[in-house]
Structure 1
Amino acid sequence: METSPNDQMMLLEIEKLFKDLLSPLQEREGGPPAYFYRIVGCDNQKELLSRVASFAEKLQSTDNFKIWDTVIPLPSDQKIIERIKGILEPISLKDYNNGALLNVLEGKGYFSLTIDDLSPQTIREAFAIVINLYMVNDQPKNISIAMNFVTKVLLWYTDFGQLCPKNRIKPKVLYWGSPKTHEVYFLILVFLLGGDVIVINTTFNDRFDNVDKQNHFCLPIKLSQEIPLPSFPQRRPLVENSPKNISAIQSPTKAAQRPSNLISKIKTDPAIVVKLQHSDNPLQDILLPLPKRSGYISGQFPILPTLFTRYIGVPVSSDDWKAEYYNDLYNLDRTLQRSGHYLKFIEGVSAPTPVESSLIPEQFAHGSFETREDILEKILQANLLPQLKNSIFSNTLKQSFIDSANLFCDSQSHFTSSIFLNFCLKLVVWINRYLPKLLEGSDPLAKDGEGGILQEQCFKILFYGPIKLHEVYLLDFFHRIGSDVLFIHSDLDGDSTFKNFDNNGTMTQVIRNLNSLPLVLFPQKEQLIRKSTVAYNASREIEEVIYSEDVGLYKPWQFEQYLTQPITLKTTYDELKILWQEAAKIRPEFKVQNHKVYIPNLFAKINGVHEDLREYWQDLKTFAQASNTHLIKAVPFCKVTYSRQELYQADYLFNPQGYLDEDKVMKSQHYKFAYLRTPLQEFLLSKINELLYSNVFLFQIDERMKLKILMTVLTMDDSLIKLIETFDFPQEIPKLIVYDSNKESFSEFDAILIAFLNLVGLDILVFTPTKYNTLEQLIRPNLFDVFQLPLLKYDLDLPELYNIPSPSTHKQGFFSRFFNSNKL
């Protein structure tokens, strides 16, 4: 394919850029003190790769360069890591923005690593620019996220700071691929420190646009086409002056692998055969001796059926299923402790300590490795793994280490030899730390009576809680040497890390229980528990059949953990009087479905009065004498008991999505529902959230109104709370009656409570003898019925209910009406 004139011009421009990057300082007079470019895309792959390979070869002659192939490796020096952690731990998140972090780093000498004779103050300013840019762009939500970023930058800087100017040539950095976000920030820091930086990315995946949005630091050269990132082109192996930055490892399919006699010998020597054992009850079967397991073969070359089970979620086996779950874990742990040869991990696996890291020979810190086989062979030759007398188990140990390490390598998409070396050395440290505890001085395959372990009982490993990827491979190693491994997490998503290890379920068994619980500390004692009798269980089974959602028979408070959905009925005035007395389950449209009770409630406004005023009062009395009815005799009726300051202080109770944070609400000083049963508390808070976005009001629901809604409901009168308390959803519906006879109509707070009670499912009646527009000004009129009686009355006071005569049981005659014409 011929190169177009435009392509040729771009290639010449890139070639000139490469030349400028290699130029000494004295030749840059009048030009920029440092270069920072990125080439995005690829119009001519062959020509670009050829020029990059030539540039990389010339770069090596400068003796102070870095070539990073798809990743900037983190230094593995544990002393440096611990030093940085020790500095960052006392710094609070707010201090990242006010210079305290920079002051601490300056005081600890982190700005004394100079490049091109830069002063510590100049380096401090470069750090300040990068950290401020990160804070503005990323806005970290918590201290851990910010600390992770700063730690990375400091680790990279410590490694990069070892470069020093030689022969008046600036430090050079070539990044091959698309830098990740944190790496983009660090490349900006390198540029600010005076280093020449070039990024070559043949794809259009360019994260600089999210960091350096105005191309203030890095100038782009964008080509018109893209290709998947090929392997880094090089004419000779990279040998950088920084010993810890190892060139990218090549996979066996891309480079010829040098045969390893030692690894080949280990692979062919006899070893224990471990088979994955499946179990329906791993908490019990882990205690089963090996001879009683199907498939077990003893002798000089044993076959061990062992568990590697992910026990996820919580089973429901009794009423106290939560307590029973934690008791099972507690008792299993106690039993395994007594049996010996047992390890329990409940807070993950701690990183190698400085003392453990110091035992690794210096050759691994300063050596150069081309392939994974080089690394594995050097580790085996150095006898870094525990040395055991039994040749079969010793070889099993080595084979398991090789297999787990290769499995880790094969699972990584972007991989370098430095990452592989760090993983292998970490695994070596962990094996030396924990294997002696499992062995406890015994030879694992000695004959009976001579301290043998694996002839009767295998090792036991219990891992509880969150797990990291490297820790998964440690469990894999333990299983390969003949251990039962049990990973336990109470959350149904707790084993997500295993997806990168065993997505197909061929190396582990997964038991996923039905229920999920938030993870808590591993149980330290046995909990009190109640066990159901046979008669009780039989009764429960019968109840489940009789009192189902579909049958229509309901026991008291059967649905107290359900939500309600009001279905406000549209009725005639006569129907209203009839349905008012009916329980919810008798009314039309009542149903229970999908963990929700659909309540056919009533919401009406009665304007005016009857021609016979006594009939009007008698209707009101009949409505008011229904059970669980609360009568409000004047409006406005809601009393605001919170101050303006308290109102605005409640803003923190909402999450970023605009809904209530229920945990924060329950802990706030305004929360007075704590004495209510827990399902009712959760019900009330869910109804507040529903009200916020229900679109029932005619006024705007802005942020201030959201605060009003929350505080009005949280501080409602106890009489209204009692109405809700008595509401057993299928039974009689609690009722609210409001009498409004003057111009002082409902307030916004009244409307909030009425709308809230309507969403709960209560019946609501508003008597307005004046026919004034009252509720219609605040709540959408289509949500309630309006009944118009013949006459209007103004300044009509509500008499005491006991003074209103009850309706006559027989119809009055014509003359009787005249003799009883005195109306109330």
Structure 2
Amino acid sequence: MDADTERKIKNSMKDIQKDLEQLCGDKPQLKPCTNAWLSGKPLKDIRKDPAARYPVPGFFANCFLRILGAEDRVTYLDDLYHLRQDLLAAGRKVVIANGRLAPLHPNEIDAVTRGNFRNIRELIAGLLPNFGFLTGELRCLARKAFAELMLEESQKEKNLSKIAGRGVYLIGWLWHYHRNLFESGDPLRIGCFFYMGGCRDSAETLFCRFLARLPADVVIFCPDLRKKCCLEDHLLYEIHYDESLEVSAYPDPDEGMSMGTASYHAERDLDSSLYGDGLYRNQQYSSAVSLILKTAYEEISVLWDEELKYRPNFSVRNGTVTLPVIFAVVNGVKDGSAYAYWDSIRKLITPDTAVIRAFPHLSRTSRKKLMPFTREFFINGRLQKTRIKSHKAYQYGFLREPVQDYLLDCLQRLIDQKIIKGTGENGMEHTVIAVALNLEKDILRMIQRFDFTRKNPKLICIAAGETALSLEDDITLAFLSQIGFDVVIFAPTGYQCAERHFNRSLAVSHQIGGYMFDLEVPAFRAALPDPNRRLPRLSDLRSRCCGKFLGCLSVPFIIILLLLIV
């Protein structure tokens, strides 16, 4: 850009600014003094009486802060709790947003009048009348700040419709929060807006910047140093602390509070420093995705009873575990030996292995129970998790909460990937949901015990007859594979028995020998530990030993022994 063009743009901007000053109406009588009065001790500074911060007529003193990390993790939540209590006791207004700004109701958005616009001036002029819910000096300050930010946005975004959308959200959020923040209408009574967690997108960033130009203390708390806040502003004052802390919400006695001890936080540090790179505590992770391993047939027995963390392609990234699982179809009988064939399958059965000996295993009746409710559970391509978990027909409520969330996430992925034929076309997703939410109790118990870094549950299917897997069987196999099960289908006949209802092949196919027919499937049983078995007490052992000893003695010998004693 040459100097003449740049000069023309600057002059044009000045003309627009002068024009906007006329559009905004009365000039504000107060000017902001933002952060200039800070001492560097944020929690102490926020408590300071606004009138004593910068006692110069014609100014209001506010702060615009982002506090990264925690000065002391043990006292962090307690410090924030007392900060809020002290501000309320001093008659200050405190508004808190946890993790996100309040979602606007469609009526709140529709209530914002827009008008037609061909340029940024007309756009701003059309939106400014919406600040009628404010009065006096507050309205003047809000209109001026809004016009300046919209003009600034026009330098970064050329699409006027997008700028208008951002402006509508600014007005909607201000209308939503203004009652609790500016209730008195006095611009010198500075309220506080606390945002726990940091801005997630440009809309939230713009609102925080807008609010910071009004008589309000805007403080962004980001105690978890792993999470980034996208807010940028030349007015923003940032304070850094070295300690990191996971906080989901600002401490509020009405919502229930919990605070960690020094030992608790030390344990969390131990998790970060010790666990990982092969060392994991029990049930450390609650999120995972499965990855199907392509293996040779001989590798199945090698990997089968091995912990997931030792398998190829296992990883943990950002709290999500990648589960390398086996999904295979084994056709034929090796060397034509039925005895060796059944023995090789028997060796794969572990305490966490389910065995299906004949197909079809599931029928249409397995989905009838939940089919009437699937349209409530699935709306606009998304599972309604809250509605599902609170529904009377939901059967997984006894599982741990993270396990329930994980199962529903896996079900959503199964639908999104359209693995089952007809998904997204003829309503097949409703059948998928009805089957997946009606798993057998033994399978659910295996899922409840499943630890993503250790051995995973297994499913062995034997299709020795001439009937194939039902639709419900294929849905179950695909769903269990998504969850992290190893699934192996043994087909001594070589018949196409599985995946008939899949859009694409998931299982790795192995040909290990010639085909055999009319084989009788043994009654395989896993060596399940008896959870009710207890170790015998010492007194029990004594009585048993004495009983066995006496039992070994002959009756005449006992009589002689008694006579000698007498």
TM range (shorter): 0.5 to 0.7
Q: Distance in 2 between matches of 1:401 and 1:715?
A: 58
- Which one-letter code corresponds to 1:511 in the other structure? V
Aligned to 1:593: 317
Q: Does 1:486 align with 2:192?
A: yes
SS in 2 for 1:689: helix
Contact 1:577 1:623 survives alignment (8 Å): yes
- Which one-letter code corresponds to 1:694 in the other structure? Q
Q: Does 1:664 align with 2:387?
A: yes
Aligned to 1:529: 258
Aligned to 1:710: 433
Q: TM-score, normalised by structure 1?
A: 0.44
Deviation at 1:761, TM superposition (A): 2.2
SS in 1 for 2:460: strand
Aligned to 1:287: 47
Aligned to 1:459: none
SS in 1 for 2:382: coil
Aligned to 1:94: none
1:777 to 482, 488, 500: 500
Deviation at 1:274, TM superposition (A): 5.8
**CA deviation digits over 1:170-217, x for unaligned, max 9?**
xxxxxxxxxxxxxxxxxxxxxxxxxxxxxxxxxxxxxxxxxxxxxxxx
Contact 1:306 1:479 survives alignment (8 Å): no
Q: Does 1:554 align with 2:291?
A: no
Q: Does 1:628 align with 2:366?
A: no
Aligned residues: CA RMSD? 5.0
Aligned to 2:412: 689
Q: TM-score, normalised by structure 2?
A: 0.62
Deviation at 1:305, TM superposition (A): 7.9
**CA deviation digits over 1:259-313, x for unaligned, max 9?**
x9xx99x97xxx999664447665543334679x7x756xxx6798843457899
- Which one-letter code corresponds to 1:553 in the other structure? L
Contact 1:648 1:707 survives alignment (8 Å): no
Deviation at 1:584, TM superposition (A): 1.4
Deviation at 1:720, TM superposition (A): 1.4
**CA deviation digits over 1:523-571, x for unaligned, max 9?**
46483534322x44334323312223xx23222222x222223132221
Deviation at 1:724, TM superposition (A): 2.0
Aligned to 1:579: 303
CA distance 1:312–1:640, shift in 2 (3 Å): farther
Judge which range, 691-700 or 611-620, deviates more: 691-700
CA distance 1:286–1:757, shift in 2 (3 Å): same
- Which one-letter code corresponds to 1:307 in the other structure? N
- Which one-letter code corresponds to 1:335 in the other structure? D
Deviation at 1:741, TM superposition (A): 1.6
Contact 1:741 1:795 survives alignment (8 Å): yes
Aligned to 1:429: none
Q: Does 1:564 align with 2:289?
A: yes
Contact 2:96 2:195 survives alignment (8 Å): no
CA distance 1:346–1:675, shift in 2 (3 Å): same
Aligned to 2:552: none
- Which one-letter code corresponds to 1:499 in the other structure? L
Q: Does 1:617 align with 2:342?
A: yes
2:174 to 467, 488, 496: 467
CA distance 1:803–1:748, shift in 2 (3 Å): closer
Contact 2:288 2:452 survives alignment (8 Å): no
Contact 2:355 2:524 survives alignment (8 Å): no
CA distance 1:633–1:770, shift in 2 (3 Å): same
- Which one-letter code corresponds to 2:374 in the other structure? A
Q: How does 1:339-378 map to 2 (within 5 A)?
A: 339=90, 341-343=91-93
Contact 1:308 1:485 survives alignment (8 Å): no
CA distance 1:518–1:467, shift in 2 (3 Å): farther
Aligned to 2:220: 512
Contact 1:313 1:492 survives alignment (8 Å): no
Deviation at 1:756, TM superposition (A): 0.9
Q: Does 1:407 align with 2:144?
A: yes
Aligned to 1:544: 272
Deviation at 1:486, TM superposition (A): 0.9
Contact 1:566 1:601 survives alignment (8 Å): yes
2:483 to 744, 749, 760: 760
Deviation at 1:802, TM superposition (A): 6.8
Q: Distance in 1 between matches of 2:251 and 2:391?
A: 29
Deviation at 1:606, TM superposition (A): 2.0
CA distance 1:750–1:642, shift in 2 (3 Å): closer
Aligned to 1:417: none
Contact 2:367 2:435 survives alignment (8 Å): no
SS in 2 for 1:600: strand
CA distance 1:776–1:616, shift in 2 (3 Å): same
Q: Does 1:606 align with 2:361?
A: no
Deviation at 1:801, TM superposition (A): 3.6
Contact 2:332 2:514 survives alignment (8 Å): yes
**CA deviation digits over 1:461-493, x for unaligned, max 9?**
xxxx95328939985996853x33311344745
CA distance 1:668–1:488, shift in 2 (3 Å): same
Aligned to 1:307: 62
Q: Distance in 2 between matches of 1:778 and 1:273?
A: 66
Q: Distance in 1 between matches of 2:247 and 2:299?
A: 49
CA distance 1:281–1:685, shift in 2 (3 Å): farther
Contact 2:190 2:217 survives alignment (8 Å): no
**CA deviation digits over 1:431-458, x for unaligned, max 9?**
xxxxxxxxxxxxxxxxxxxxxxxxxxxx
Q: How does 1:149-548 map to 2 (within 5 A)?
A: 276=35, 277-278=37-38, 282-288=42-48, 306-309=61-64, 324=77, 331-339=82-90, 341-343=91-93, 404=141, 407=144, 467-468=174-175, 471=178, 475=182, 481=188, 483-490=189-196, 492=198, 499=206, 502-503=209-210, 510-514=218-222, 523=252, 525=254, 527-533=256-262, 535-548=263-276
Q: Distance in 2 between matches of 1:284 and 1:256?
A: 37
Gaps of 5+ in 2: 1-15, 98-134, 152-171, 228-245, 528-566
Higher relative contact order (CA 8 A, sep 6+): 2
Q: Distance in 2 between matches of 1:343 and 1:609?
A: 77
CA distance 1:510–1:773, shift in 2 (3 Å): same
Deviation at 1:686, TM superposition (A): 0.8
Contact 2:68 2:221 survives alignment (8 Å): yes
- Which one-letter code corresponds to 2:86 in the other structure? T
SS in 2 for 1:749: helix
Q: Distance in 2 between matches of 1:273 and 1:583?
A: 61
Deviation at 1:331, TM superposition (A): 4.2
Identity %, equivalent residues: 22
Q: Distance in 1 between matches of 2:203 and 2:260?
A: 34
Gaps of 5+ in 1: 1-250, 348-384, 386-397, 415-464, 805-824
Contact 2:410 2:479 survives alignment (8 Å): yes
Q: How does 1:784-795 map to 2 (within 5 A)?
A: 784-795=507-518
